[in-house]
Chain A
Amino acid sequence: MTILQVRNLSIDYLAADGAVLHAVDDVGFDLEQGRSLGLVGESGCGKTTTMLGLLRLLPAEGRIISGEVRYQDTDLLRVSEREMRKYRWSKISLVFQGAMNALNPVRKVGDQIAEVILLHKTVTDKGEANERVGELLELVGITSEMARQYPHQYSGGMRQRAMIAMALACSPDILIADEPTTALDVMIQAQILDLLQNLQKELELSIVMVTHNLGVVAEICDDVLVMYGGKTAEYASVDVIYNEPLHPYTQRLLQAFPDVDSPASSLASIPGHPPPLDALPPGCRFEPRCHCREGICAVENPPLVMVKPGHYVACHMVGD
């Protein structure tokens, strides 16, 4: 069952000088219940903006220009702000990038988790809420006594776990994890990912994983959406993306991944930088850095076409 359908989502930022920056342009995907989608791309390609857009949490300068975010039968972009608050967290929750800053430093961790529960009236009794907080913390491997401590008394990995516990507090259907493992060391990273996977199985969660770590994607995602410069470059299942990538960007990304068999070889890199939002190339956004570009690429933006069922690519060199 498709639990979240995103169609033609476009988001602009209004710059201070009046310029309009297209941060996200015509992005769409389907999220099936109990499956996970990886959202991959370089920094600044619109991943986080897309996720914040889904929950209508964009900063004041952000505008959703068009699109549809269909959760079950409701278009979340059309409901009132008051209505939207009921969907936030109780249906779709968010694990932030860098949990250190996502917890209020002056309130006890347990109280912050309890706030979520009481706010959405999952339970109404304070004692019961505290009990639930204890359960949630145990679920992510933190002893329930730690609920009485402040965020600065937690280690980085524990804060991330606490954040995940908070995200699960209202038993949401969808969990958006925005780079949940950046700033954590490899061991903790692996623990967090294991935790997410186990929870997904146990709770039938659907996960959207925003990351630029392809290893993470390969480990836990079912589908992958590769973004570049605010647009969809390629969208397919994880096997297809890793085994038969069609978009030159995806290919180069995968080549840039270190090879376990020959650790000494130098890493391939993609020359250049992602395009700045105020100077997007007129044609394909990857054209200036692309190794197989042709004349048309600099002029016309390639449409997203379906090359096989479930495999979408936006590139002039693919398909016909």
Chain B
Amino acid sequence: MNADTFVEECRREWKRLGVPAEIAGEMAAELRSDLADAAADHVPPEELLGAGAFDAPAFAASWASERGVVPATPPRRRRPVLPALVAAAIVLAAAALAVALFAGRSTHQARPATSPIASGGAIVVLDPKSGAVRRLVLQETSLVRHRLKLAHP
């Protein structure tokens, strides 16, 4: 591990975290002088830095955090739960109402125009996109459940 590189990595992390420049400079100077002393005594950096010697950003973040020099980020505002639940309930109710109305109208409109399915008749339905009434013509009695051809009225 190169001491200068390690210190520079720490500085970058402190800058990223928003540690005030003066404090970051002080910590960097302390680290640099201690690493130089350790090197002069032939002491490996791990003796001074522990496992942090292999992960400069983690080491830097830990030090700054413990020292209390990382600016606090504003806590996330929690969204109120009750209004969200009420909104979800309203949406669900509206969807259920729409489905019920649609089903009722389809049934109502289909009934008069529909011949018995066994004879290969037709079903009149309301197109939900265009709002137009369409007629589904059943092609073959035996394939009534599988093959439907959409025919314009």
Q: Bound pair: A and B?
A: no
Mark A residues whose CB is within 8 Å of B.
Answer: none
Mark B residues whose CB is within 8 Å of A.
Answer: none
